[in-house]
Amino acid sequence: MFHQLKSAYQAISRVFTKVSGWTSQGLRVLLVLTVLFYAAAMVWWVFVAGKVKVQEHSVLVLALQGPLVEESEGGLRDQVIGQLQGQARESVRLRDLVQVLDLAAKDKRIERVLLKLDDFKGGGLVSLGEAAAALERFKASGKPVVAWSAAYDQRQYYLAAHASEVVLHPMGAVYIEGLGSRRNYYKEALDRLGIQANLIRVGQYKSAGEPFVLNAPSRSALQAEAYVLDALWGFYTAGVEGARKLPLGSIAKNIDALPGALQRVQGDAGQLAKDWRWVDRLQTYEALREALKKEVGQDDEHKSFRQIGFKDYLRSQSQPVKGDHIAVIVAQGEISDGRAPAGKIGGLSTADLVRQASQDDEVKAIVLRVNSPGGSVLGSELVRDQLRLARAQGKPVVVSMGDVAASGGYWISMASDAVVADPASITGSIGVFAMLPTGGGLMAKVGIHTGGYRTTWLAGAYDPRLPLDPRMQALAQSSVEHIYADFIAKVANTRQLDVAHVDTLAQGRIWTGAQAYERKLVDRLGSFDDAVDEARTRVATQAGTKAGGAPLAIRYLGPKASVLEAYVQKFLPQWVGAMVTAQGQSPMAAAVVAASGHDADVLGAIGQDLQWLQGVLAQRQPFGAVAHCLCQMGP
């Protein structure tokens, strides 16, 4: 019997071995064929389809898809996987949009711009403002901008308002709702589960951890949010009313009168938007296409009006930067300790970029574009210290604050010669917190027990299965207080303010850029272009020359990609198929969401909040404090 079983086992093994061999060979053949396919596709695209010709009297079609960002997220691996799964995340880089508009303004072949916003997910008020400024420059060249959408949400409309004409589908609407923030609070739920968050913080307004220890926002948190949101709402309404030449304060009045006004037009939201002069005319896209065909001519390839797309035009106009220049480093997203892909900040990887710029003789200055709510204190310090070293080596460093440069984002901004903030930037949040979640109560409820031998009390002193050891809590409190003291001391030193006064401005409270300027937390108010001009002026002053002649060019510095990676990243969507926009949301956006965002996935927000808490738990760094504001606010 044993020999029969043994023989059967050996026979089955031989079959599986052969099948495995066939499978391995098949996979190798498939891999080779795939590589050959992509190589052929690359050659075809570069030498045939990649050559873009801009026709005379063309319409530049800006069909914006995804959010407006400083830097697209993810590396090549993430992009390939996302494409193959149909979950690739499309986005619009702010610098690409601005560059295309500025180039098209001078291009005689481009007659006008068509701004299509149906799939545009918006951005922060600073990013939207800089894109709107580029639209205004394009219009100043004498060329019109036409915006069209089936319906405009609040973020889309901010850009549309700066067009020469705003066109809306007859069945559409303009949704301007105002700003608001709403977070989930988990104390009661965690209590029922037997879980304690154990929040340790310094700063009266440092509210990032409050959702896990309270059932409602604290009074100080509401006070701080109201102060910032009211200011941002003022920036939004002033920008739209100015662009559309509407009476000052008319948006707020119209929102108050909305129920009765909509009844008077029998519920026709499109007509109401036209009556309020929010749009110029109601028209389907097909009708708009036919009108453009008559005005600029027909394009047989597209079976539509003569046109060129956003990415095609960008590719046709891009030129490499050579010689002396200003290096721009984008510091976007959460800050982590180590290395991070494009679109994120890694303490080590971002510091490496700064080091690379400081050691390049052709780099005459560094502009750090910060759009970050913070994160790791260690990661923030690694970047700050490398910027300090760059300045010590004679490289002027200028910080340009984007939508958010708060907490850790403010920390890395301190090692600079000048900090330029947009009036609508969210900054400050100078505070620190730590969180040590424990689930001893949950363990007891389900009847699970733990035990073991330890040589010292510190070995495993922070164990999420047990109540928090008071000695461990004291250690964490000391660490947080030390980091906060270091934080405000650095601010006081760089801003030339008294430490006690900085403490009153800190406490974890957020400010707009305008409010921060009033409190001397930033040097001046301005845009990214103003920050670049500041860097150019400092280079000229350092060289003992007057600013003039051809200005120093700028070059964005990021992770280096091979030639193959560069082509794959550029042309992957055309090879794999149309990209599908992912409807994801970052933890910081889940924490404070503008009412106009239409983020209705409550369960998703809860999952992200708890995932963030799980991330804190997974790090298992009981002495690790966090400089994070969880404060992305915008239209």
Positions marked active-site: 206, 407
The residues, any chain, with a CB within 8 Å of residue 167's CB and separated by 6 or more, are 146, 147, 148, 279, 280, 281, 282, 283, 288
Rounded Cα distance between 116 and 121, Å, is 12
In terms of residues, how long is the chain? 635
Rounded Cα distance between 300 and 448, Å, is 72
Position of tokens 């959702």?
Answer: 211
Amino acid at 96: D
Rounded Cα distance between 131 and 395, Å, is 29
Q: Is the dihedral of CA 613, 619, 624, 627 positive or negative?
A: negative
Rounded Cα distance between 190 and 435, Å, is 14
Q: Quick one: DSSP state of residue 246? A: P
Alpha helices in 276-376 (DSSP H): 285-296, 310-317, 347-358
Position of tokens 């580029």?
Answer: 134
Tell me which H or E stretch contains 108.
none
Q: Quick one: DSSP state of residue 47? A: I
Position of tokens 């958010």?
Answer: 404
Q: Give the count of beta carbons closer than 10 Å to the beta carbon of residue 544.
A: 6
SS3 string of 415-448?
CCCEEEECCCCEEECCCEEEECCECHHHHHHHCC
